[in-house]
Amino acid sequence: MPHTSVFCDWSDPGYCDCAATALRSVVEGFPILTNGELLFLTEIDMVVRVRRVHRVPAHCRSDCLFSRRSQQNRCFALDAVLDVRENRVLRRGVPGAKRVFRRLDWHAETSPGVQTCFVQLDGLGSASWREAGFSHTIFQLCDPFGKNESACVVVTPWDFMERMEYYE
């Protein structure tokens, strides 16, 4: 009988603890998977990419593998793409993040304000940002004068507000 298999083969120690949760979230929340699809898993604040592969590797842990009956034999791997859990250092940065500017009283209405060391990713809110009522996540750049896509750290809304006081 044909079946569809989905697995997480994450060897990075920082991701091993959430691989089984990621697999369960995908299996329960996304009944139809497509190659190349990006999924935001709110339970673990991660973006994963669904990738079609030929077979499950032999060394894959059993708690990170799921199979179900289907119309045809297919096998998908889940690749961790972006981790937006708080206080995580993202060495490769965040593609598509935009610089946050701080407008002060003396800035003209047309001025964007002072460039800060923060970048914002719209449409993807980590747990603490969703809890505060926002649909975005803010990252603090490791190099304050670096590019928007350079290494950064995920910050909480409270840390962000505290650190933004510096720009007053």
How much is the pLDDT for 64? 84
Amino acid identity, position 68: R
Structure tokens, 94:
């965040």
pLDDT tens for 63-114 read 888 988 888 889 999 998 888 888 888 888 888 888 887 656 555 566 556 6
Give the residue carrying structure tokens 């840390």: 159
**For a pLDDT cut of 70, what percent of the chain falls above it?**
90
Q: Which residue from 3, 88, 75 is spatially nearest to 47, judged by alpha carbons?
A: 88
- For residue 31, pLDDT over 80 is answered with yes
Please state the rounded mean pLDDT for residues 103-132. Answer: 76
